[in-house]
Amino acid sequence: MHYVQAFSELHDSWFSRRGRHEYALYLAGGMSNCPNWQKEFTQHFENLKDDCQTMMRCFWLNNLTIINPRRNNYDPTKKSEVKKQTMWEYSHIKSSDAMVFYFPEESICSSALLQYGKCLASNKKIFLGIDESYTKLLDLYTITRLERPDQPINYSLKDLIEEVQTFIEGE
């Protein structure tokens, strides 16, 4: 498994070295004022890699790239930082194969809502998780059903992780 974090040393070289069998998941969703769900998500797949039970699981985990836009030192009050972050996210979203959206209860996740709307109207693969206490739960549910009636919706991070794992192992 490969891991690309925003503005890490690996992020620039990822585009040029990406293999044709590699599957890239972009972790979209809450970053500011919410738990680091991206860490929990990534750790789950790291742990799976240590316990490859089938050849297919090992193949997919070895060819999986998780793209995490969350930065440790991001200052959203600086315009230059916001522009840089937005441009980084835009380019990595375009190059990813699938989007993993998680909307936790702690934040409205305004940027993620914009990204979700754009992806929802495209044909990009989406994995969706919404905390049951998320403020805009009914809005997300309704627009999802209108745009993609068969889109699975998970109501916990645990269920979201399980859906992604099932998809990867079934590929």
Judge whether residue 44 has pLDDT over 90.
Answer: yes
Predicted local confidence at residue 9, as pLDDT: 55
In this model, does residue 7 exceed pLDDT 90?
no
Extents of the domains making up the chain: 2-170
User: 116 pLDDT exceeds 60?
Assistant: yes
CA distance 32 to 30: 6
Q: What is the pLDDT of residues 62-96, one digit of tens each?
A: 888 999 999 878 888 899 989 999 999 998 999 89
pTM: 0.90
Average pLDDT rounded to a whole number, residues 121-149: 97
Does domain 2-170 correspond to CATH entry 2.40.33.10? no
Average pLDDT over residues 53-57: 68
User: CA 148, CA 83: separation in Å to the nearest integer?
Assistant: 30
- Mean pLDDT score, 111-127: 95
Region 129-154 average pLDDT: 97
Q: Which residues contact 168 (CB under 8 A, 6 or more apart)?
A: 23, 60, 61, 64
Q: Is residue 49 scored above 80 in pLDDT?
A: no
